A and B are shown apart, each in its own frame.
Chain A
Amino acid sequence: MKIVVAIKQVPDTATQVKIGGDPKAIDTAGITWIVSPYDEFAIEEALRLKEKRGQGEVIAVSLGPDRVKEALRSALAMGCDRAIHLNDPAWANADTLATAQALAAVIKQEQPALVLCGRQAIDDDMGAVGAQLAEVLGWPCASWIMEEAVDADAKSVRVGRQVEGGLEVFDLPLPAVLSAQKGLNEPRYPTLKGIMGAKKKEIKDVKAGDLGLTPAAPQVAVKNLEALPARPPGRVIQGEIKDAVKELVRALREDAKAI
């Protein structure tokens, strides 16, 4: 069974994000880049599927500049067999749709039985690429999955997706696109052997032209980024409990209009 995992490289979760000199982008100086955590669930699930079936191939795909190679190498260190890097200045301003179109083009070439990705990347938090990719491919899609079971013939997959208060269970014919929610699994650490072996695995560079694509102007353009406004200081209500509670209720009702 061939599985493609679409991943995104994002700033480390601990990053103090600063807006750059160009207010349309963040300042990337000194940022540590990682594989988006939800994408790690997708990688882990693909590797488990391959291991469970005793055969198959897991291919990591990512779109972005040169630095994205590090994210792909991390995926290879975890156990992916090879990687494809969609690396072309033509994609510099790619929005989610352009990204989905690029991914779809390379997925059509690879013809996997399954595509996995994270439910959203933790930088822009759009959560759009997975569904858009399925739409462009014309494949079924299930988002935010908590469990999956591919049938013995790799013809269909049963998934449980998170909804409020429980799981919604669907059967999807393959090929399909699934996006991973936290809780699907616990991603493995790359072993030292995996890290040392990653260097020997292939990362193929692909340009827009190689896929016969000319990325269109983005449908979504960032106009401006603004820092969150500073949080107003909290208020401690002093005095007897009895009076303080009264004051709290009054403040919630009249000042904050919260109740």
Chain B
Amino acid sequence: MRIELTSEQQMIRAMAAEFAQEHVAPIASEIDRDARFPHETVKRMGELGLLGIMVPEQWGGAGADAVSYVVALEEIAKACASHAVVMSVNNSLYCDPLWKYGTDEQRARFLKPVAAGHALGCFALTEPEAGSDARNQHTVAVRDGENYVLTGRKLFISTGREASYALVFAQTDRDKAHRGISAFVVEKGAPGFSVSKTEDKLGIRASDTAELVFDACRVPAANRIGEEGRGFHIALATLDGGRVGIAAQAVGIAAGAYERSVRYARERKAFGVLIGEHQMVGWMLADMATAIDGARLMTLKAASLKDAGQPYTKEAAMAKLFAAETAMKVATDAVQVHGGFGFIREAEVERYFRDAKITQIYEGTSQIQKLVIAREVLK
């Protein structure tokens, strides 16, 4: 067994790294402080093909694989976790299900512009009463002739304000509980669909997290993705892919915080020697490097299983769990390595510290990942 990226994957990583360091890293602090969505760089990411990596060329994407996706996403996250979540949501949570479950007509209308980076997509599953308990959907979609009428609220929707297309989950048959959930594409500007607020967050502040309101919003039946009642299955399968993306984001956050710590440990002196030579700091760096390597390998493994068409639910949950915990631990220690300076915005590691936290929460909290893993283990 030899773990080596193909020459395409290496080129994709190099391109993403160069773009991230030259164009994303320089603005990361400022857009975090101002909670400003980075339209310009996100647009360039679309032009480079980073927003529809796994979608075949025919449907506007790059036709690359999941391994390419995670190596590119890690590089973007290393520079800025906000850019990374926009990229992850667009690729994993919108393009992936549209390609997998959409008809050709739906792919042409709703996938192609998003995979090509001309517009953004989002994934609207979470509700005030349906977070980890995602089955508990209150949004309803009532059939009325050739339309469905959607009523309800979606909460904490990443890219919810900026997206032109939302993949929305709603109950079409309440009696069937989660087997009565269906998926719809709702276009921005549809009558009755509005964004009621954007959240003010601890981390990933440059990405928009919004509340979506559906007030008797009429959606053509042609916008339903998959059969009626298949929505929850689509959501869960989509989240498997999403978790690999968030794992890659977490690895990137950890790697960014770690690299800054190594640099600092080589520059900063205390008690007459570089702080890296103090065993307590050296050990922190060693633990960081080891955990990051493990998290990266687990992420690559889950991605390569997805590419091979093998089941990867367990591996995706494991990668997401371990990478998220690693990101939080590494970013916490990175602040510690920097001491007082680490607590100051200028050092930037405090941003990684704040950004890391969300990876333990969204697309399934660490606790939910353990539930998924335990269920798979006990199968």
Contacts and interface: CB of A to CB of B under 8 A. Distances in A.
Contacts of A195: 8, 11-12, 15, 62, 64
B62 A193 contact: yes
Contacts, number: 42
B282 interface: no
Interface stretch (A69-77, A173-181, A238-246): A69-77
A175 B5 CA distance: 41
A196 interface: yes
Given A70-B7, A195-B8, A196-B8, A189 B63 contact: no
A199 interface: yes
B57 A190 contact: no
Interface string B61-78: 011100010000000000
A198 B57 CA distance: 14
Interface string A161-205: 000000000000000000000000000011111011011000000
Q: Which applies to chain A's interface (DSSP): helix, strand, loop or mixed?
A: helix
Given A196-B62, A196-B63, A189 B7 contact: no
A189 B19 contact: yes
A98 B269 CA distance: 51
B49 A193 contact: yes
B54 to A, nearest CB: 10
Contact of B12 (A70, A73, A192, A199): A192
A193 B60 CA distance: 10
A192 B50 contact: yes
Contact of A191 (B7, B18, B49): B49
Nearest to B44: A189
Nearest to B50: A192
Interface string A56-79: 000000000000001001100100
Range class of the B interface residue count: 10 to 19
Contacts of B47: 191
B53 interface: yes
Range class of the A interface residue count: 10 to 19
A191 B11 CA distance: 10
A44 B34 CA distance: 35
A196 B6 CA distance: 11
B297 interface: no
A199 B62 CA distance: 13
Contacts of B53: 192
Given A196-B62, A196-B64, A190 B8 contact: no
Interface in B1-49: 7-8, 11-12, 15, 18-19, 47-49
A192 B15 CA distance: 9
B48 A74 contact: no
Given A73-B7, A77-B11, A191 B64 contact: no
Nearest to B69: A192
Interface of B: 7-8, 11-12, 15, 18-19, 47-50, 53, 57, 62-64, 68
11 contacts: A70-B7, A77-B11, A190-B15, A191-B47, A192-B48, A192-B62, A192-B64, A193-B62, A195-B15, A195-B64, A196-B63
Interface of A: 70, 73-74, 77, 189-193, 195-196, 198-199
Given A192-B48, A192-B53, A196-B57, 11 more contacts: A73-B11, A74-B11, A190-B15, A191-B47, A192-B68, A193-B57, A193-B63, A196-B62, A196-B63, A198-B8, A199-B8
